[in-house]
Amino acid sequence: MERALTDFGYMAINAGLAAAVLFFGRKWMSGVERTAKENREEMIKQNQKTCDDLKEIIERNREEYKEKADGIIKSLNKLSDHVATANGRTTKNELAIAHLEGIVNTQIAMCEARNESRLSGHCGVQ
């Protein structure tokens, strides 16, 4: 009987220890789960903040790039206008030069014809 009581005592101690391990194990796991949940919530908040910050940066960059592109387009338009004006002037100059060349060639031909008998090809220059 004494042995049975001793065995029963050991079983009660083991059961008590097992209950204590289960109690503290559950308490520890609850703490771990709570911490994990808090970490997840904090990570979600941080991710959302990062996403919002990135969206703001992208929008700001988009506006800056649009302004720069508009400036480049305006500069190109001015350059295009300048080139068109220069081309128009060049065309006018080419026409004037062609006209003058025609007049000079006509004068040379008239001079040669007038002086052909006298100077034979020197056009009055001796």
DSSP string, 99-124: HHHHHHHHHHHHHHHHHHHHHSSSTT
pTM of the model: 0.40
Average pLDDT of adjacent 10-residue blocks, the chain of 126 residues: 78 90 92 92 95 92 90 89 80 84 87 72 52
C-alpha span between 11 and 74 (Å, rounded): 92
pLDDT at site 125: 52
Burial bucket for residue 91 (CB in 10 Å: 0-12, 13-18, 19+): exposed
pLDDT at site 96: 84
Kindly list the domain boundaries of the chain, sorted by start residue.
Answer: 1-92
Number of Cβ atoms within 10 Å of the Cβ of 98: 10
* HSE of 18, CA atoms in CB hemisphere, 13 A: 6
